[in-house]
């Protein structure tokens, strides 16, 4: 097999393992059937390497893979056949090395190589791919192309499904942490409809709030810490259901819930109303702060025109009316965002 780079921009290669040692599953057709059963457009990997070392083509290289969500864009996905580390063959690893070096050469070394587990809480691809391929700290194929294949690997690797089981060293994520795992978490939250603000790889207050909401929605312990139970829940969780209360939320309920914009909007609308009524009825004793502010600003302008009360009345009504209208608009937008789940 000769690798020819696709036109689509590619920056990274991800390596996976198929999660089965069953000889019937040792082919791309089976993976294709599995992935179709998941509702995908067929096999999510571009290459499947059989135990014999034969490299089979999967998804069209010009297409984005479906393999390591949410990091599929700009990647090539390779899957080796197997589950238990001691059943992975030298032949398939030799083919993996060959394929990866071909890709590396095709990109002039400007491409990085990763295991699925780098971006997911999974053991995939189980093998010590960094050592086998000679991957540098930054993910590049450093040095010379390895000659022999050494598949000696730690014996403590579990033989459970690498795509289902949490990784051996499960690390929990919590407030204050930073890094790629946090970014993965943030993307998962956003994908499921939980807002985290900017995706910044930083587990801050908003991410914590989103985790708490996710935990509450999924009947998990609401501690804001992403441990194995919460991580596993992400795989099966459905996008956030937008509740009835949310859809029928009004400005008033939002203000009660602590939305400052909604609160300010209500106060301004009320102020506008009071001021208008005050002006129209001539009751000037109970002027709101808003009106007093406006009055002091408008008086100097009105002065050259004789400072007539008629001019002031019209000017004030216009300004107050405009402000009230703006407040109503801001309030409406805020309520809409809440109803559609854009904000909390």
CB of 52 to Zn ion, least distance (A): 21
Which residue in 35, 46, 79, 124 is the catalytic one?
124
Stated as kind and residue range, the H or E segment containing 130 is helix 129-133
Q: Is 116 a catalytic residue?
A: yes
CB of 212 to Zn ion, least distance (A): 29
CB of 116 to Zn ion, least distance (A): 3
The first and second tokens of residue 219, run together, are 């009947």
Q: Residues 4-23: x/- map of binding to Zn ion (CB under 5 A)?
A: ------------x-------
CB of 200 to Zn ion, least distance (A): 26
- For 122, 193, 208, the CA distances from 230, given in Å and listed in that order, are 14, 16, 13
Q: Is 46 a catalytic residue?
A: no
Which residue in 12, 46, 122, 338 is the catalytic one?
122
Stretch that binds Zn ion, among 116-124, 204-212, 241-249, 260-268 (CB under 5 A): 116-124
- Residue 59 touches Zn ion, criterion: CB under 5 A: no
CB nearer to Zn ion: pick between 115 and 272: 115
- Cβ partners under 8 Å of residue 297, min gap 6: none
Q: Is 124 a catalytic residue?
A: yes
- Residue 116 touches Zn ion, criterion: CB under 5 A: yes
CB nearer to Zn ion: pick between 68 and 335: 68
CB of 112 to Zn ion, least distance (A): 17
Measured CA to CA, the distance from residue 218 to residue 27 in angstroms comes to 36
309-339 and 260-281 helices, crossing angle to 10°: 150
- C-alpha of 267 from chain center: 36
Stretch that binds Zn ion, among 49-57, 124-132, 214-222, 244-252 (CB under 5 A): 124-132
The first and second tokens of residue 243, run together, are 């509740």
Q: Is 338 a catalytic residue?
A: no
Q: How many CA atoms lie within 13 A of 232 on its CB side?
A: 11
Residue 56 CB neighbours (<10 A):
19
Which residue in 45, 114, 194, 338 is the catalytic one?
45
CB nearer to Zn ion: pick between 153 and 343: 153
**Contact between residue 184 and residue 70 where contact means Cβ atoms under 8 Å apart:** yes
Q: Is 122 a catalytic residue?
A: yes
What b/e sequence results for 98-135 when a residue is b if at least 16 CB atoms lie within 10 Å of its CB, and e otherwise? Answer: bbbbbbbebbeeebbbbbbbbbbbbbbbbbbbbebbbb
CB of 178 to Zn ion, least distance (A): 24
Which residue in 16, 46, 114, 338 is the catalytic one?
16
Radius of gyration of the chain (CA): 30
- For 111, 274, 276, the CA distances from 290, given in Å and listed in that order, are 61, 10, 11
Size of the site for Zn ion (CB under 5 A): 3
CB nearer to Zn ion: pick between 33 and 318: 33
CB nearer to Zn ion: pick between 78 and 271: 78
**Contact between residue 111 and residue 11 where contact means Cβ atoms under 8 Å apart:** yes
**Three-state DSSP class for residue 340:** coil
Q: In the set 100, 124, 184, 251, which binds Zn ion (CB under 5 A)? A: 124
User: Residues interacting with Zn ion, by CB under 5 A?
Assistant: 16, 116, 124
| Residues involved in catalysis | 16, 45, 116, 122, 124
């Amino acid at each position: 097999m000769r690798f020819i780079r696709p036109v689509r921009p590619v920056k990274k290669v991800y390596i996976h393992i198929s999660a089965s040692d069953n000889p019937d599953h040792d082919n791309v057709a089976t993976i294709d059937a599995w992935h179709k059963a998941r509702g995908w457009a067929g096999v999510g990997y571009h290459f499947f390497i059989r135990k014999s070392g034969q490299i089979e083509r999967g998804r069209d290289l010009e297409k984005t893979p479906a393999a390591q969500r949410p990091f599929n864009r700009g990647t090539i996905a390779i899957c080796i056949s197997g589950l238990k580390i001691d059943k992975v063959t030298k032949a398939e690893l030799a083919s993996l090395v060959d394929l990866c070096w071909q890709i590396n050469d095709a990109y002039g070394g400007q491409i990085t190589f990763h295991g699925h587990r780098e971006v997911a809480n999974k053991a995939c691809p189980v093998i010590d791919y960094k050592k086998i391929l000679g991957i540098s700290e930054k993910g590049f194929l450093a040095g010379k192309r390895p000659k022999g294949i050494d598949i000696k690997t730690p014996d403590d690797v579990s033989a459970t499904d690498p795509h289902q089981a949490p990784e051996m060293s499960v690390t929990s994520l919590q407030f204050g942490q930073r890094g790629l795992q946090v970014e993965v978490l943030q993307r998962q939250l956003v994908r499921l409809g939980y807002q985290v603000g900017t995706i910044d790889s930083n587990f801050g207050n908003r991410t914590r709030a989103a985790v708490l909401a996710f935990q509450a929605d999924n009947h998990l312990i609401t501690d804001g810490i992403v441990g194995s139970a919460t991580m596993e829940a992400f795989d099966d969780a459905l996008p956030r259901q937008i509740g009835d209360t949310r859809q029928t939320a009004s400005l008033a309920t939002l203000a009660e819930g602590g939305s400052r914009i909604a609160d300010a909007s209500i106060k301004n609308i009320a102020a506008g109303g009071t001021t208008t009524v005050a002006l129209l009825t001539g009751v000037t004793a109970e002027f709101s702060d808003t009106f007093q502010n406006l009055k002091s600003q408008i008086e100097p302008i009105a002065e050259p025109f004789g400072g007539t009360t008629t001019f002031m009345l019209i000017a004030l009504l216009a300004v107050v009316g405009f402000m009230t209208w703006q407040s109503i608009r801001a309030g409406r937008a805020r309520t809409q965002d809440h109803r559609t789940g854009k904000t909390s």
